[in-house]
């Protein structure tokens, strides 16, 4: 079952969006549990008391803590939820790009728009891949969903994991990137020394990305154009 949060300070919009999600659920025969919230603070409280959501559909222009700030706080708490911003104001697009939304839906919402978003949420929910590594003649399997990023110092690679753990192995980062590129979980090469999990990025800056653990990693100058174009694909 997919756990979905719908957050909008207008009750009519919450009901409309919830109805579209439930319609998708019936057509795809995939059970969902939808929780409605009127503020970003309520979403964060529910996250603490009830655990993670699989997706959060959120109005960008909430009263009080707006959608942008709520998204940043979700990522800082290591929430893997897909974030889908819903807004009728184009002026928020640049801010959405900075906090790395999963998707963007322009109001008014329709069943078709929501179905496209939910299909992607489902795909992300189901995805995981095992990445074998060798260290001290022992082969271990990494879950790529749990990897925030790979950091390389020559041939020594650190896989930094959710929860603060890490795994060390020896391989060229170019080879790691090549092996991962054949799969469905996408990583970005933002620097000769950093390969980052796109689902674990909290925010983009001009010359850095902030990961969900709060750590900022540099984007090399020759990669900034690529990263900028990549970000815009989600808007």
Tokens of 199: 């689902």
HSE, side-chain direction, 13 A CA sphere, residue 192: 5
Question: What's residue 63's pLDDT?
Answer: 81
Question: What's residue 48's pLDDT?
Answer: 82
Domain 130-232, what fold?
OB fold (Dihydrolipoamide Acetyltransferase, E2P) (2.40.50)
Name the CATH superfamily, with its identifier, for domain 2-126: Response regulator (3.40.50.2300)
**All CATH 3.40.50.2300 domain ranges in the chain, comma separated:** 2-126
Question: What's residue 99's pLDDT?
Answer: 59
| pLDDT tens for the chain, residues 1 to 235 | 889 999 999 999 999 999 999 999 999 999 999 999 999 999 999 988 887 888 999 998 888 888 888 988 887 776 778 889 998 766 656 566 555 556 888 889 999 999 999 999 888 887 778 899 988 888 888 889 889 999 999 899 999 998 889 999 999 999 999 999 877 788 999 999 999 998 888 888 889 999 988 899 999 999 988 887 777 665 4
Question: What's residue 64's pLDDT?
Answer: 84
Place of tokens 């020559």: 154
Residue in 37, 91, 84 with CA at minimum distance from that of residue 65: 37
In whole angstroms, what is the distance from residue 8 CA to residue 36 CA? 8
The answer to whether 66 and 60 are in contact (CB under 8 A) is: yes
Instruction: Name the strands in the sheet holding 208-211, side by side, starting at the edge strand that comes first in the sequence.
Output: 201-204, 208-211, 216-218
Beta-sheet pairing, 55-59 with 2-7: parallel
């Amino acid at each position: 079952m997919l756990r979905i949060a719908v957050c909008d300070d207008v009750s009519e919009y919450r009901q409309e969006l919830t109805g579209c999600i439930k319609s998708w659920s019936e057509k795809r025969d995939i059970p969902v549990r939808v929780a409605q919230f009127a503020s970003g603070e309520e979403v964060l409280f529910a996250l603490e008391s009830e655990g993670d959501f699989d997706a959060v559909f959120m109005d960008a222009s909430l009263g009080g803590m707006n959608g942008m700030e709520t998204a940043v706080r979700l990522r800082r708490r290591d929430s893997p939820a897909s974030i889908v911003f819903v807004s009728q104001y184009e002026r928020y697009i640049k801010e959405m790009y900075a906090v790395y939304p999963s998707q963007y839906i322009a109001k008014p919402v329709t069943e078709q728009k929501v179905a496209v978003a939910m299909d992607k949420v489902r795909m992300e929910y189901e995805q995981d891949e095992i990445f074998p590594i060798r260290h001290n003649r022992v082969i271990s399997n990494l879950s790529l969903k749990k990897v925030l990023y790979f950091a390389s110092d020559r041939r020594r690679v650190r896989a930094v994991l959710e929860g603060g753990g890490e795994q060390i192995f020896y391989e060229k980062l170019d080879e790691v990137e090549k092996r991962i590129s054949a799969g469905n979980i996408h990583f970005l090469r933002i620097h000769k020394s950093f390969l980052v999990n796109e689902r674990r990025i909290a925010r983009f800056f001009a010359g850095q990305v902030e990961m969900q653990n709060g750590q900022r990693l540099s984007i090399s100058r020759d990669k900034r154009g690529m990263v900028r174009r990549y970000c815009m694909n989600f808007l």
